[in-house]
């Protein structure tokens, strides 16, 4: 993503792939372990899109990853706002960086997918909460073919977002939403919310039914979302 952001305004569409990363980063500046064998890429886009659909960019990418991995036989779900999980364990994270210009959105989507390596290649503290495609399926996938499938799906969703349409993406995300209709805990910057996860709002927020009514939680304020026994 560092390289991608340095050339952001010079490209209309470009994918940068890393064999491994030494400075991988997730949400809120957290370190992201990226050993050799995984699919680590950044997608640069120059788009004319309405401002209200910007929160759906990372959801559309998470959906594209989740659908592609599901087609390979994995039980994938989308953990709002930007993760893909298999049986509750993280297999993918998406990080969006958006720069707004004059009627233009310059977008970098950083995507990390645990594909062709062993869990033992990750730091010990991550091994109980992560999963790799290789260990879940029992065989390796071709990372480049996988990338092609993900980007193909994503481009279909981008066409909707450029028109300002979020309904299809929102509906599909809700169908795959991890923890939907279950009690969750949302730890935010200034407050902690406990309630039933109801879905995703038209602005990409998380809808949580609490004892005080429905709360809309913005991804920018979320520190951690606890679903069942997730950490």
Domain boundaries 2-175, corresponding CATH code: 3.30.930.10
- The fold of 183-227 is SH3 type barrels. (2.30.30)
pTM over 0.85: yes
CA distances 62 to 34, 96, 157, 159, Å, are: 18, 11, 11, 16
> What are the domain boundaries of the chain?
2-175, 183-227
User: Lowest-confidence range among 67-71, 102-106, 147-151?
Assistant: 102-106
- CA-to-CA distance for 59 and 150, rounded, in angstroms? 13
Label residue 25 by pLDDT band (50, 70, 90): low
Helix (H) or strand (E) holding 183: strand 183-188
Paired tokens of 120: 């033992």
């Amino acid at each position: 993503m560092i390289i991608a952001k340095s050339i952001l305004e010079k490209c209309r569409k470009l994918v940068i792939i890393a064999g491994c990363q030494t400075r991988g980063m997730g949400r809120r500046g957290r370190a992201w372990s990226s050993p050799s064998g995984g699919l680590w890429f950044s997608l640069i886009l120059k788009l004319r899109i309405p401002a209200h659909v910007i929160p759906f960019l990372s959801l559309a990418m998470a959906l594209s990853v989740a659908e592609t991995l599901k087609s390979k036989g994995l039980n994938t779900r989308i953990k709002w706002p930007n993760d893909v999980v298999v049986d509750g364990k993280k297999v993918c994270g998406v990080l969006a960086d958006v720069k707004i210009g004059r009627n233009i959105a310059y977008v970098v989507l950083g995507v990390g997918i645990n594909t062709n390596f062993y869990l033992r290649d990750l730091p010990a503290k991550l091994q109980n909460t992560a999963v790799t495609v290789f260990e879940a399926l029992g065989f390796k996938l071709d990372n480049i073919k996988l990338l092609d499938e993900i980007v193909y799906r994503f481009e279909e969703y981008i066409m909707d977002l450029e028109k300002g349409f979020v309904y299809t993406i929102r509906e599909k995300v809700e169908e795959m939403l991890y923890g939907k209709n279950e009690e969750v805990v949302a730890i935010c910057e200034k407050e902690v919310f406990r309630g039933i996860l109801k879905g995703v709002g038209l602005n990409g927020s998380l809808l949580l039914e609490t004892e005080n009514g429905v709360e809309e939680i913005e991804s920018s304020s979320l520190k951690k979302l606890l679903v069942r026994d997730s950490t």
